[in-house]
Amino acid sequence: MGEVLKVGIAELKVAKAPVNLSSAGLGSCVGICLYDPRARIGGLAHIMLPDSNQARNTTNKAKFANTAVPFLVTEMLKLGAVKERIIAKIAGGAQMFVFPGASDFMRIGERNVDATKKALAEERIPLTAQDTGGNYGRTIELCTTTGKLYIRTIEHGEKFI
Amino acid sequence: MVKDFQSLTNFQLDALREIGNIGAGNAATALSELIGERVDMGVPHIDVRHFSEVPEIVGGPESFVAGIYIKISGSAPGEILLLFPVEDAKQLLYILLKEHSILSRQAFDQLECSALMELGNILAGSFLNALATMTSLKYIPYVPGFCADMAGAILGAVLHDLGIMGDHVLYIKTDLRFQANKHVGGYLFFLPEAESLETILNTLGVNS
């Protein structure tokens, strides 16, 4: 096993092969993985909210989909990644709790996924794979050597995307 | 004005710890009456942590837990989250329902989910009753939600409401242990929103 950087809730990290990136226990949060296959540089953001414009305290860019994507790109470019080569894979955005008569606000997972896709489109980053939705948690690890994203769950198996 | 959870004084934290103590004491008594066994309660732990650190408190983001989540509206909105390691939740259900098959499965069937949600309802209700008496504020609990999964996934879904305000969470955590089997237990988290904290501190007369 090589070195793995752990990315917690509302955090963001970048790494160069052979250092991998992982996020454990993604629920309604979304793990945004960006990857430059040529430079073998990866970035992972564990976002918990869709939009910084709805929040009062926006100093932590890693917390929101709309600010995490451009920030992640900037950090990867510093490591030597090339913007045009970057691709994206995302996982998470589940709805963990179901409440009777739940309002829009409770569908936070879905809103996180939509906001992530929008932010990626704005940066012109192609989304090549995703494993989102459902009602279960996911642990993910981005292999910076191959660009494969490993996803593990408790009752819904494991896979690579 | 509570600008951020980290600016709370020790005096204010003590006042909140006391609220947690009485609230959780009430909840433990309710639980004890429900299961017909003595329930011991630990000293409430109050802390302010960054979101990324919270899953570690309950055994890491991947630990398999059962969560009962109760949103609170009213004059001081917030959240109550009850977390039990899955095996402990199963033991608890066995005490409640006396069915051996409960212990042989990892999954929770509909009856088990309902039982745990009702348990959450009763515990949250007794916690909030104590809180209401002490602060003269009105707390309205929502219908509980239930989920058994990774602790990180459950906490993430609960913390996002508080995430709009800042990166830190103030929580009052109390351990509940059953007398018959001291290794079985769970946690009660009370998570007030930042503005509610202000309201609560005001009514307690400790907001400087």
> Chain B 72-111, CB below 8 Å of chain A: which residues?
106-107
What is the C-alpha separation between A49 and A87, in angstroms, rounded?
22
Statement: residue B183 has pLDDT above 80:
no
A143 is catalytic: no
Q: B108-132, pLDDT tens digit by residue?
A: 999 999 999 998 898 888 889 888 9
Which residue, A117, A122, A150, A157, is CA-closest to A136? A157
Give the residue-averaged pLDDT of B143-163.
87
Residue in B50, B64, B156 nearest the CB of A154:
B64
- B1: confidence class by pLDDT, cuts 50, 70, 90: very low
Q: Chain B within 8 Å of A57 (Cβ-Cβ)?
A: yes
Residue in A29, A57, A96 nearest the CB of B149:
A96
Task: List chain A pLDDT tens, one digit each, 161 residues.
Answer: 579 999 999 999 999 999 999 999 999 999 999 999 999 999 999 999 999 887 777 788 999 999 999 999 999 999 999 999 999 999 999 999 877 665 655 688 999 999 999 999 999 999 999 999 999 999 999 999 999 999 999 989 999 99
Residue in A10, A98, A108 nearest the CB of B145:
A98
Kindly report the number of other CB atoms within 10 A of residue B57's CB atom: 17
Decide if A25 and B55 are in contact by the 8 Å CB cutoff.
Answer: yes
Nearest chain A Cα distance for residue B3, angstroms:
11
User: Going from the N-terminus, what domains does chain A have, and what CATH number goes with each?
Assistant: 4-160 (3.30.1330.200)
ipTM over 0.85: yes
Q: Which helix (H) or strand (E) holds B163?
A: helix B151-163
What is the C-alpha separation between A63 and B26, in angstroms, rounded?
36
The model carries a pTM of 0.88
Give the residue, A49 or B180, on which the prediction is more confident: A49
Kindly report the number of other CB atoms within 10 A of residue A25's CB atom: 27
Nearest chain A Cα distance for residue B110, angstroms:
14
User: Going from the N-terminus, what domains does chain B have, and what CATH number goes with each?
Assistant: 5-203 (3.40.1550.10)
Residues linked to residue B67 through DSSP beta bridges, in sequence order: B83, B147
Spacing of C-alpha B97 from chain mean position? 23
B9: CB partners within 8 A, 6+ apart: B208
> Looking up tokens 């009430």, which residue turns up?
B26
Decide if B156 and A25 are in contact by the 8 Å CB cutoff.
Answer: yes
Q: Work out the end-to-end distance of chain A between its first and last CA atoms, rounded to an integer number of angstroms.
A: 20
Predicted pLDDT of residue A26:
95
